[in-house]
Amino acid sequence: MGISLERQLYAFLYAIMTGCVLGVVLDFIRISRVLFGIASYTGQKTKLLHHSFPLIGTIKTTVWSHERSRLKIFLFFIGDLLFFVLSGLVFCVFLYHAASGSFRWFYLFGALIGFSAYYASVGRIVVMCSETINVFLTVIGSYLIWLLSLPVSIAWRVFRLICRIAYLCAIRPIQTASLQRRRIRYTNAVRASLHEAVRIRDFSDYSV
């Protein structure tokens, strides 16, 4: 039993929307590459993150050395492979949902039209703004980490202050008193030695 023309037109429009969704998926992959420093499309991320932000200062970025270029190529391959696998799965779901599993060449053509239209319009804008978006997300994440670590930082400073006060009020006087006792004992020992030396000398002179 064939598919009606109305159903085919609906499936064709659905295929165009599916292509746009695949373009969004590709943009997520490209933005993740910029986020982890694997790719740079405009070179604005380093310039924007070079500035010092209030409370958090300068944000450190991931730098890929020449020795790690193979890992960079591998991550590129994994991203492309993931995109193609997701594209195949999404297109299969589209066929079963919109066309009852029947394949028509214009379905693929419609998906390519939607993907190309998104890639040439919104996708181009997203790529141009990708590093700005990633800088925004990085700054937001850095501020969230700073807020989460703020109680720990305050508690650590309070603990150091308490330890310093305890040292100045209790431990340092004990150390000072102990040092004074050692000095007094040393002074008394020196005096006793001098008295003994003088006594022995006087006794020797008397004997002679």
Angle at 132 between CA 128 and CA 138, to 5 degrees: 145
Angle at 105 between CA 101 and CA 111, to 5 degrees: 85
The residue written with tokens 């949902």 in the block is: 97
pLDDT in tens, 21-41: 899 988 888 888 877 777 766
pTM for the full predicted model: 0.55
Q: Digits of tens for pLDDT over the chain (208 positions)?
A: 456 677 778 878 888 888 898 999 888 888 888 777 777 666 655 565 666 666 666 666 555 555 566 777 888 888 889 988 988 888 888 877 766 667 677 778 888 898 899 988 888 888 777 777 777 777 888 888 888 888 888 888 888 888 888 877 877 777 777 778 888 887 877 777 777 766 666 555 544 4
The residue written with tokens 């890929």 in the block is: 64
CB 46 within 8 A of CB 138: no
Cα 28 to chain centroid, rounded: 18
Here the tokens at position 31 are: 């933005």
CB 146 within 8 A of CB 57: no
Q: What residues have CB less than 8 Å from 158, skipping those under 6 apart?
A: none
Cβ neighbourhood burial of 143 (10 Å; 0-12, 13-18, 19+):
middle
- Give the pLDDT of residue 68: 63
Distance CA 116, CA 102 (A): 23
Q: What residues have CB less than 8 Å from 103, skipping those under 6 apart?
A: 95
- Give the pLDDT of residue 1: 45
- Give the pLDDT of residue 208: 47
- Give the pLDDT of residue 202: 56
Distance CA 71, CA 62 (A): 14
3-state secondary structure of 147: helix
Give the Å distances, CA to CA, from 22 to 3, 25, 90, 103, 107.
25, 5, 8, 18, 14
DSSP letter string over 84-103? HHHHHHHHHHHHHHHSTT--
